[in-house]
Structure 1
Amino acid sequence: MDTAGRTAGKATRELRTIEVPRGLAGVVVTDTRLGDVRGREGFYHYRQYSAVELAEKRTFEDVWHLMLEGALPDAAQRAAFAARTAPRRRLPAEVAALLPAIAKATAEGSVFDGLRVVLPLIGASGGFRPLYDTAPDRRIEDAITVSAAVPTVLAALHRLRRGLTPVEPRDDLPYAANYLYMLNGAEPDPARARAVEQYLISTVDHGFNASTFTARVIASTGADLASAVVGALGALSGPLHGGAPSRALDTLDAIGSPDRADPWIRERVLAGERIMGFGHPVYRTEDPRSRMLRTIAEGFGGPLVELAVVVERRIIDILEELKPGRQLHTNVEYYAGVVMELAGLPRDMFTPTFAAARVVGWSANILEQAADSKIIRPSARYVGAPPPQPVPEI
């Protein structure tokens, strides 16, 4: 056997002896400059900045600039970036004309279904080329086009599904305020717009979750940016990933009042049912996003917030009593649902709104992956019947 053959044989044997955890948990697949999640500390960051501190102190456009360009903008750069991104909110006329038919065709599903149809059309209309064949500057422009268009598409499809006329975007409104304006047809209250903006900032990126990894796998093939985002959307649509903040609100609706919390919670826990809004595959302490959103919700006040705070405490206490050592804490879904409800977002738009933020993080990951020409191509361990078996004759 020649040297190449011996090397290949050795590599094959090594692959067969590698122990890989289910779901690739903890496996490092690449290096990134975009951020990380430190689950045991309850901390995550975008580049070198705390994501929560960014949500508290900066605008969505600032964080968008940070993720794409690598630095937070100063005042002049902020204005220039807003002028660069706001006009991209308008859909190409040929794409906008198809929205009523797409809304009708996907009426039995989610607006996600329509969004996954529209984004490839935007890419084709905009002349998106494979990332492999596209210069870095053009890749960034494609990323801006997709990220700016997503809120417009979501709002338009939502309104069309309800027999309403889509609302044209406004260049003078910030990203979050414009999104609420397009959804509801009225300029939003500044406090509510800011609450949604902070939620959007807090969900831009969150490590190598399933949708981000999917986007990077597709980008590693050299496919166009819209295709990679559509793949990420497909991953996010799964109930084990995207979650559903509205389900946490359903829990509060079912409980109704603080005096009903204990019996309702105990019954579910003892029956082995999952309580939505609690537990996270990475965090072993309180989800920092939940902590921030609780503060925002408490700023609004009112019966819903009071109930949410009481129920949260009782769920944590009862879980600790009945499931000691599990360390189940509130995750982002719980107070995200409360904040979005108070901000006037329809419940069926909670998870799509999550996507309106995460598309910026996906795009940044796609751009980073596109700079590396190595295709992501892992191996699988074959566990079927030993080959080769004789092929039976008929």
Structure 2
Amino acid sequence: MPISAPTAHPAVPRGLAGVVVTDTTLGDVRGREGFYHYRQYSAVELAERGTFEDVWHLMFHGRLPDAAERAAFVAHTASLRGLAGEVKAALPAIARAGSASGPLAGLRTALSLLGASAGMLPVYDLDPERRRADALAACAAVPTLLTALHRLGQGLEPVEPRQDLPYAANYLYMLTGQEPEPARARAVEQYLISTVDHGFNASTFTARVITSTGADVVACLTGAVGALSGPLHGGAPSRALDTLDAIGTPDRIDPWIRERVLAGERIMGFGHPVYRTEDPRSRMLRGIAQSFGGPLVDFAVEVESRVEAILAELKPGRELHTNVEFYAGVVMELCGLPREMFTPTFCAARVVGWSANILEQAEDSKIIRPAARYVGAPPPQPLPAPF
């Protein structure tokens, strides 16, 4: 039987950069303008003036809540923070098993258990209201799971969630066991809002691909968590802060940076695959950091200035500025979060964006199934003897 020629597929950019794969009403990132938005609103303005629950409602329901809707939404989502008994009972074992890899790795297992214990069904078989209910339950539980896994890993007992605290303040309370200072709670809330969603990044796209198969909400979220765990995606906030530690003092900035740039190494916290100007999230978080002040903030600002100057000299023509991770690490450090919780905190925000994308993708029954261009040896080859 004759074998036809390989299927011809047009070339696409590496990493699907710039390839439009669907339409969305959830938001967009305009990299050349240094602007991004949730629905029709500036994400930075929402972070400056709104609450996390406002943005959560916006992403799930398509509109900002009025006063009555806000109160009802805050009360309902707060009531979902507790964990089922079988999930709570399993967390110590999950924490022990993931002692070397941390809460984000444990979250993959804990989320799967959460979905199974709640009897979550494939989104393909559910109506929009049931899908939204499952997504709300998962989003509300993620901070409880992350903080419990962290505390158990430190030999501490988990702290039960409080329904009287807003999302960010409750997260810090469960993490530390103490009600946070308002300024710190607000700073973390603004960070969380700024990272709810950001276009079709790797984890969001992963969530949508899994959703296109009709899988349940938690299966989609678990895949997204796996994508987020990679250091080239969500794993950079603590690494950016590690850079400041490695430099140490102002006199070491130039030689330290030059050595690494000339060696072709990446400077964590700088550069972004979408933005060709300053990352608007970084600009906002710099302002938050400067409102706290102190030696760490002064040093970070000096490092930012010198790194950008050196990159402009050694890599002329390329726009390389701080991204969200650089000042996110500074803000979280100032607010008392341990570095191993930087990326999990990112996850506690992004789970809302993932879920909104899951709900949107579930409305389309077409499975995402791209093609690959085969570039190996021409088939069919004879099997080697004496196979």
Q: Does 1:133 align with 2:125?
A: yes
Q: Which amino acid aligns with 2:45?
A: E
CA distance in 1, matches of 2:145, 2:288: 27
- For these two proteins, the number of residue pairs brought into alignment is 383
**Matching residue of 1:236:** 228
Q: Does 1:210 align with 2:210?
A: no
**Matching residue of 2:290:** 298
Q: Which amino acid aligns with 2:235?
A: G
**Matching residue of 1:147:** 139
Could you tell me how far 1:255 is from its partner in structure 2?
2.1
- 1:97 aligned counterpart, secondary structure: helix
Name the stretch that deviates more: 111-120 or 260-269.
260-269
CA distance in 2, matches of 1:221, 1:247: 35
- 1:280 aligned counterpart, secondary structure: coil
CA deviations 1:306-345 (Å, max 9, x no partner) are: 1111111011111111211121101001000000000010
Indicate if the aligned counterparts of 2:102 and 2:150 stay in contact, CA closer than 8 A.
no
**Matching residue of 1:58:** 50
CA distance in 2, matches of 1:228, 1:174: 26
CA distance in 2, matches of 1:258, 1:63: 39
Could you tell me how far 1:122 is from its partner in structure 2?
0.8
CA distance in 2, matches of 1:331, 1:244: 10
Matched ranges for 1:78-227 at <5 A? 78-227=70-219
Could you tell me how far 1:393 is from its partner in structure 2?
4.5
RMSD: 1.3
Q: Does 1:330 align with 2:326?
A: no
CA distance in 1, matches of 2:148, 2:324: 26
CA distance in 2, matches of 1:272, 1:191: 39
Q: Pick one of 254, 262, 269 that aligns with 2:254.
A: 262
CA distance in 2, matches of 1:19, 1:192: 48
5+ residue gaps, structure 2: none
Could you tell me how far 1:93 is from its partner in structure 2?
1.1
Q: Which amino acid aligns with 1:91?
A: L
- 2:29 aligned counterpart, secondary structure: strand
TM-score (norm 1): 0.95
Q: Pick one of 32, 57, 60 that aligns with 1:40.
A: 32
Q: Does 1:358 align with 2:350?
A: yes
CA distance in 2, matches of 1:44, 1:337: 21
CA distance in 2, matches of 1:264, 1:239: 21
Q: Pick one of 361, 365, 370 that aligns with 1:369.
A: 361
Q: Which amino acid aligns with 2:97?
A: A
Could you tell me how far 1:124 is from its partner in structure 2?
1.1
Could you tell me how far 1:262 is from its partner in structure 2?
2.0
CA distance in 2, matches of 1:267, 1:18: 40
Q: Does 1:379 align with 2:371?
A: yes
CA distance in 2, matches of 1:20, 1:264: 37
Q: Which amino acid aligns with 1:363?
A: S
Could you tell me how far 1:42 is from its partner in structure 2?
0.6
**Matching residue of 1:310:** 302
Could you tell me how far 1:18 is from its partner in structure 2?
1.4
Q: Which amino acid aligns with 1:282?
A: V
Could you tell me how far 1:249 is from its partner in structure 2?
1.1
CA distance in 2, matches of 1:243, 1:140: 28
CA distance in 1, matches of 2:49, 2:8: 50
Report % sequence identity.
77
Q: Pick one of 245, 249, 253 that aligns with 2:237.
A: 245
Q: Which amino acid aligns with 1:27?
A: V
- 1:16 aligned counterpart, secondary structure: coil
Name the stretch that deviates more: 253-262 or 361-370.
253-262
CA distance in 2, matches of 1:295, 1:261: 22
CA distance in 1, matches of 2:136, 2:380: 51
5+ residue gaps, structure 1: 1-8
Q: Pick one of 10, 16, 27 that aligns with 2:19.
A: 27
- 1:37 aligned counterpart, secondary structure: strand
Could you tell me how far 1:269 is from its partner in structure 2?
2.0
Q: Which amino acid aligns with 1:185?
A: G
CA distance in 2, matches of 1:321, 1:113: 40
- 1:336 aligned counterpart, secondary structure: helix
CA distance in 2, matches of 1:259, 1:383: 50
**Matching residue of 2:334:** 342
CA deviations 1:116-154 (Å, max 9, x no partner) are: 001111111111000000111010000001100000000
CA distance in 2, matches of 1:23, 1:56: 33
Q: Which amino acid aligns with 2:26?
A: L
CA distance in 2, matches of 1:351, 1:268: 24
